[in-house]
């Protein structure tokens, strides 16, 4: 998935050791390594791929652990920034390139799996992210892990969510995906969404489609920006297909959060949790 992204920046080296299975979930680990590898490639200027590398190394770490390192020969991370790279929305990339959520999501996923993630970097030489995961014992691999050894879930608060999408089937799907962790209200009409908020309803997060016949997500945003700016600031936009020039400009404005349709359930859950954790409860 990342070969196109990496190719113009560096060689991709797989230094895979002989490691046992770990306690994890394939699709979530996929999200973690996708972001780490894309970050690594983006840290290396284009054009000198023959002299740079992105190296993924797996190794056994003591009796209970496995490490995966993603190392690059890129620009490195200065000391004053390295403390902040795992913060949601921290990005040094231009608007439209990075949302600054990648590492925040990686951190959350790895913590939930009972592992850890760390970084070391030398400016001008490169950066190495190290992920440590817990080895799955044979029993754990077949049956569920014992309760005492289960990864501690990261405490998160339940959010009040409003989902706005003109496709009823999508509203239902999103509700199914999010309702276990959050209180979800869905509406198929953006006017109805605006009316709820104008009537005084407050949400921790609003998930809105961008292209709807009645009123676009952008129009809903402008309406809310006047009626209840603190609610407008809590919007996540779902976009699918080609964007108009205005749509692209809107989505790429600083601080705006969006997710491309179609998305995976886990990606939506992670995004919602990360944004919720990064924002305060509404007044």
Before 132, cis peptide (omega within 30)?
Answer: no
Strand, helix or coil for residue 4: helix
- Contact indicator for 161, 106 with CB cutoff of 8 Å: no
Task: Kindly tell me which residue out of 76, 102, 114, 159 binds Mg ion, with binding defined by CB under 5 A.
Answer: 102
Choose one: 34-42, 138-146, 190-198, 206-214; the region binding ligand ATP (CB under 6 A): 34-42
257 is a contact residue toward ligand ATP (CB under 6 A): no
Provide φ and ψ at 126, rounded to 5°: 145, 180
Nearest approach, Cβ of residue 181 and Mg ion (Å): 24
# of chain residues touching Mg ion (CB under 5 A): 3
39 is a contact residue toward Mg ion (CB under 5 A): yes
Nearest approach, Cβ of residue 275 and ligand ATP (Å): 12
Task: Kindly tell me which residue out of 6, 37, 39, 237 binds ligand ATP, with binding defined by CB under 6 A.
Answer: 39
Of the pair 92, 222, the CB lying nearest Mg ion is at 92
Integer Cα distance of 111 and 132 in angstroms: 10
Site string for ligand ATP, 201-240 (x = CB under 6 A): ----------------------------------------
194 is a contact residue toward ligand ATP (CB under 6 A): no
The interaxial angle of helices 190-198 and 217-227, nearest 10 deg, is 10
**Beta strands at 116-122 and 205-209: parallel, antiparallel or unpaired:** unpaired
Site string for ligand ATP, 53-72 (x = CB under 6 A): -------------------x
Of the pair 85, 212, the CB lying nearest ligand ATP is at 85
Q: What is the 3-state secondary structure (H, E, C) of 212-261?
A: CCCCCHHHHHHHHHHHCHHHHCCEEEEECCCCCHHHHHHHCCCCCEEEEC
Rounded to 5°, the CA angle 140-158-208 comes to 110
Integer Cα distance of 210 and 159 in angstroms: 22
Give residues 106-145 in contact with Mg ion (rule: CB under 5 A).
none
Residue numbers at the binding site for ligand ATP (CB under 6 A)? 35, 39-40, 43, 72, 74-75, 77, 85, 90-93, 98-104, 127
């Amino acid at each position: 998935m990342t070969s196109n992204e990496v190719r113009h920046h560096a060689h991709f080296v797989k230094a895979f050791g002989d490691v046992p299975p770990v306690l994890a979930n394939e699709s979530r680990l996929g999200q973690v390594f996708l972001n780490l590898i894309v970050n690594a490639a983006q840290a290396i200027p284009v054009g000198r791929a023959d002299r740079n590398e992105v190296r993924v190394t797996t190794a056994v770490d003591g009796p209970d652990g496995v490490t995966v390192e993603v190392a690059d020969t890129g620009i490195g991370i200065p000391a004053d920034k390295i403390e902040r790279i795992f913060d949601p929305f921290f990005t040094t990339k231009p608007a439209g390139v990075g949302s600054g959520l990648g590492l925040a999501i990686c951190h959350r996923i790895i913590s939930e799996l009972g592992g850890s993630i760390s970084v070391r970097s030398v400016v001008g030489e490169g950066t190495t992210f190290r992920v440590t995961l817990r080895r799955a014992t044979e029993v754990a691999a077949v049956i569920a892990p014992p309760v005492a050894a289960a990864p501690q879930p990261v405490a998160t608060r339940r959010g009040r969510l409003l989902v706005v999408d003109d496709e009823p089937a999508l509203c239902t799907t999103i509700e199914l995906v999010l309702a276990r962790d959050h209180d979800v209200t869905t509406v198929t009409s953006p006017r109805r969404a605006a009316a709820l908020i104008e009537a005084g309803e407050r949400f921790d997060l609003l998930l809105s489609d961008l292209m709807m016949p009645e009123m676009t997500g952008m129009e809903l945003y402008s309406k809310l920006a006047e009626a209840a700016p603190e609610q407008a600031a809590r919007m996540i936009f779902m976009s699918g297909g080609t964007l108009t020039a205005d749509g692209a400009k809107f989505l790429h404005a600083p601080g705006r959060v969006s997710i491309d349709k179609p998305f995976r359930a886990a990606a939506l859950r992670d995004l919602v949790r990360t944004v919720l954790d990064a924002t305060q409860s509404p007044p």
